[in-house]
């Protein structure tokens, strides 16, 4: 039972402090209860709590849309709001199909990466890898074409398959550079750039799901920046409000907007939800953008990346681990076990072990990862890695 949060720490109802080393499921970027975000929420709730976002708009939503367009990869010119990472991806998939239908050249095939995770709604589960999470719902899921993960040295296989599949496909959806729930797997910026080039050659839309990677996790504001690409559709959630309130945005290029914008109602982009663009959530997101503009967030991220790399160093060469990796502010290492994978018996035991040491880590099976808020200090990170070293001694 958690009663409070501040910075990188949570506090239980009983007063015990827990270090949040996974940013409460990857959402909290600047730390819990950043004062500027808290102040923005308080101010907004006193003015307007909620209003229907059909036929009405409001200043926080207008400001946020402009703010997002200003910082997003150049060319993304329109913003559609929803409430979660999953809905931002559902919206993206629907935009892609609507674009092709309204353009009079219907394309409907979706291409997605092996090990992908895009959410837990029917559409996003369909685009995600199949497995234990969605086996029960398989009869409801639609088929997508699956692309081999572009692991280092095997990228050409992925490119060749994409070149074959992209012809007449509606869209390729990717998590740029870092696949989160699939096991904190990383791939190179050049591979992402090449996938974007192949899509462009075939006129296939590229959807970048930056729900996890957006707002600094991989070292840049958006992971797409590292590949120098502009996706046709960009999905944002989690860190959009600094991790304070649920809100999502799906950005798209003008041609996708134009294909839907018409007095002809059959062309409308039909997607609404009760809390679309909630003013308080938008105000929190505007405060987040202001923090990015006015505080040394990029420097903080670079310092955190360096601290993470330094601490990971002690595990390199440790035979109890394999696949030791870091991208930006995120590190991951696989504890060797006879039954690796998400269902590794080790996972819950590890989580409990860390919890008993006052650290919130939630390994993906045998994959231990550290994905902290950017305010975490060197000393706090030391606590995390000391616990990981101790875990290796206990479990490996
Ligand atoms: C890449 C990615 N896309 C989508 C989602 C779904 O986001 P939400 O849990 O907010 O629906 C997640 C959640 O972890 C994610 O990592």
Each residue's pLDDT tens digit, 260-304: 999 999 999 999 899 999 999 999 999 999 999 999 999 999 999
The pLDDT, as a whole number, for residue 173 is 99
The pLDDT, as a whole number, for residue 153 is 94
Return the closest-CA partner of residue 31 out of 7, 65, 15.
7
d(CA 344, CA 395): 12
Using the atom order of ligand 1, give the atom closest to the CA of residue 246.
Answer: 10
Q: Could you report the per-residue pLDDT of 11-58, keeping only the tens digit for each?
A: 999 999 999 999 999 999 999 999 999 999 999 999 999 999 999 999
The pLDDT, as a whole number, for residue 344 is 80
Q: Give Cα 255 distance to the centre of its chain.
A: 25
Region 344-364: mean pLDDT is 94
Closest C-alpha residue for ligand 1 atom 7:
85
Residues 6 or more apart whose Cβ sits within 8 Å of residue 145:
109, 110, 111, 112, 165, 169
Using the atom order of ligand 1, give the atom closest to the CA of residue 180.
Answer: 16
Using the atom order of ligand 1, give the atom closest to the CA of residue 89.
Answer: 4
Please tell me the distance between residue 275's alpha carbon and the centre of ligand 1 in angstroms. 18
Using the atom order of ligand 1, give the atom closest to the CA of residue 210.
Answer: 1
Please tell me the distance between residue 266's alpha carbon and the centre of ligand 1 in angstroms. 30
Return the closest-CA partner of residue 27 out of 208, 201, 241, 228.
241
Distances (CA, A) of 303 to 156, 202, 219, 329, 339: 34, 40, 10, 9, 35
The pLDDT, as a whole number, for residue 341 is 78
Is 80 exceeded by the pLDDT of residue 351? yes
Q: Are 202 and 176 in contact (CB under 8 A)?
A: no
d(CA 375, CA 322): 28
Q: In the predicted model, what is the mean pLDDT of the chain?
A: 97
Distances (CA, A) of 130 to 9, 133, 259: 34, 8, 32
* Ligand 1, pocket-test mutation among 83, 119, 186, 371, most atoms within 8 A of CB: 119
The pLDDT, as a whole number, for residue 217 is 98
Is 90 exceeded by the pLDDT of residue 166? yes
Please tell me the distance between residue 264's alpha carbon and the centre of ligand 1 in angstroms. 33
Please tell me the distance between residue 85's alpha carbon and the centre of ligand 1 in angstroms. 4
* Ligand 1, pocket-test mutation among 24, 118, 215, 369, most atoms within 8 A of CB: 118
Please tell me the distance between residue 211's alpha carbon and the centre of ligand 1 in angstroms. 6
d(CA 175, CA 114): 11
d(CA 362, CA 347): 8
The pLDDT, as a whole number, for residue 117 is 98
Q: Could you report the per-residue pLDDT of 211-258, keeping only the tens digit for each?
A: 999 999 999 999 999 999 999 999 999 999 999 999 999 999 999 999
Residues 6 or more apart whose Cβ sits within 8 Å of residue 355:
18
Using the atom order of ligand 1, give the atom closest to the CA of residue 238.
Answer: 10
Query: Where does ligand 1 bind, in terms of residues with CB under 6 Å?
Result: 84-86, 89, 117-119, 175, 180-181, 209, 211-212, 237
Closest C-alpha residue for ligand 1 atom 16:
212
Please tell me the distance between residue 222's alpha carbon and the centre of ligand 1 in angstroms. 15
d(CA 30, CA 240): 11
Query: 304-310: long-range contacts at Cβ-Cβ below 8 A with a sequence spacing of 24 or more?
Result: 304/329, 304/372, 304/374, 304/376, 305/219, 305/329, 307/378, 307/381, 308/370, 308/381
Four-residue CA torsion sign, 345, 346, 348, 352: positive
Region 97-102: mean pLDDT is 98
95: alpha, beta or left, given left = phi > 0 and alpha = psi -120 to 50? alpha
Please tell me the distance between residue 183's alpha carbon and the centre of ligand 1 in angstroms. 13
Please tell me the distance between residue 237's alpha carbon and the centre of ligand 1 in angstroms. 8
The pLDDT, as a whole number, for residue 339 is 81
Region 198-210: mean pLDDT is 98
Neighbours of 295 (CB within 10 A): 14
Is 90 exceeded by the pLDDT of residue 192? yes
Helices within the chain (DSSP H only) = 23-26, 35-47, 59-71, 85-102, 122-127, 155-165, 189-202, 224-227, 254-260, 279-294, 297-313, 346-356, 378-395
Using the atom order of ligand 1, give the atom closest to the CA of residue 84.
Answer: 10
pTM of the model: 0.98
d(CA 349, CA 354): 9
Using the atom order of ligand 1, give the atom closest to the CA of residue 175.
Answer: 1
Closest C-alpha residue for ligand 1 atom 9:
85
Using the atom order of ligand 1, give the atom closest to the CA of residue 26.
Answer: 14
Helix-helix angle 35-47:279-294, to 10 degrees: 150
Please tell me the distance between residue 118's alpha carbon and the centre of ligand 1 in angstroms. 5
Q: Could you report the per-residue pLDDT of 137-151, keeping only the tens digit for each?
A: 999 999 999 999 999
The pLDDT, as a whole number, for residue 343 is 80
The pLDDT, as a whole number, for residue 211 is 98
The sheet with strand 330-335 has its strands ordered as 321-327, 330-335, 367-370
Query: 214-217: long-range contacts at Cβ-Cβ below 8 A with a sequence spacing of 24 or more?
Result: 214/238, 214/239, 214/240, 215/29, 215/239, 215/240, 215/242, 215/288, 215/292, 216/29, 216/297, 216/298, 216/301, 216/328, 216/329, 216/374, 217/26, 217/178, 217/328, 217/329, 217/330, 217/371
Q: How confident is the model at residue 107 (pLDDT cuts 50, 70, 90)?
A: very high
Please tell me the distance between residue 138's alpha carbon and the centre of ligand 1 in angstroms. 19
Please tell me the distance between residue 161's alpha carbon and the centre of ligand 1 in angstroms. 26
Q: How does DSSP assign 110-125, residue by residue?
A: EEEETT----SSHHHH
Please tell me the distance between residue 180's alpha carbon and the centre of ligand 1 in angstroms. 9
Closest C-alpha residue for ligand 1 atom 13:
119
Return the closest-CA partner of residue 111 out of 163, 176, 52, 37.
163
């Amino acid at each position: 039972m958690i009663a409070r949060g501040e910075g990188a720490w949570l506090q239980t109802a009983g007063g015990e402090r827990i270090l949040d080393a996974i940013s409460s499921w990857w959402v909290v970027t600047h730390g819990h209860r950043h004062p500027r975000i808290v102040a923005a929420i308080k101010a907004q709730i006193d003015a307007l709590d909620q209003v229907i976002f059909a036929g009405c708009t409001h200043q926080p939503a207008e400001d946020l849309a402009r703010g997002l367009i200003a910082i997003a990869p150049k060319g993304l010119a329109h913003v559609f709001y929803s409430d979660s990472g999953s809905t931002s991806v559902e919206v993206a998939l629907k935009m892609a199909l609507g674009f092709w239908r309204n353009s009079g050249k219907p394309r409907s095939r979706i291409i997605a990466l092996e090990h992908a995770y895009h959410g837990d709604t029917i559409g996003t589960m369909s685009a995600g890898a199949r497995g234990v999470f969605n086996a029960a719902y398989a009869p409801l899921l639609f088929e997508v074409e699956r692309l081999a993960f572009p692991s280092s040295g095997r990228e050409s296989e992925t490119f060749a398959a994409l070149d074959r599949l992209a012809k007449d496909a509606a869209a390729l959806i990717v998590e740029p550079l870092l696949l989160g729930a699939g096991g904190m797997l990383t791939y190179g910026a050049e591979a992402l750039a090449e996938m974007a080039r192949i899509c462009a050659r075939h006129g296939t839309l590229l959807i970048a799901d930056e729900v996890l990677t957006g707002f600094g996790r991989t070292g840049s504001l958006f992971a797409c920046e590292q590949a120098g690409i502009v996706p046709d559709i960009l999905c944002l959630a989690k860190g959009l409000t600094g991790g304070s309130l649920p809100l999502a945005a799906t950005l798209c290029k003008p041609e996708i907007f134009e294909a839907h914008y018409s007095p002809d109602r059959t062309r409308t982009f039909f997607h609404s939800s009760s809390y679309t663009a909630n003013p308080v959530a938008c105000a929190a997101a505007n405060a987040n953008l202001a923090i990015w503009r006015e505080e040394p967030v990029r420097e903080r991220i670079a310092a955190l990346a360096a601290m993470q790399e330094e601490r990971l160093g002690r595990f390199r060469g440790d035979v109890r681990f394999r696949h030791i990796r870091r991208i930006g502010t995120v590190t991951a290492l696989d504890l060797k076990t006879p039954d690796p994978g998400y269902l590794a018996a080790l996972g819950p035991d590890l989580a409990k072990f860390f919890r008993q040491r006052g650290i919130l880590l939630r390994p993906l099976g045998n994959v231990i990862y550290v994905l902290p808020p950017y305010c975490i200090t060197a000393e706090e990170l030391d606590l995390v890695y000391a616990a990981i070293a101790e875990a290796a001694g206990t479990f490996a």
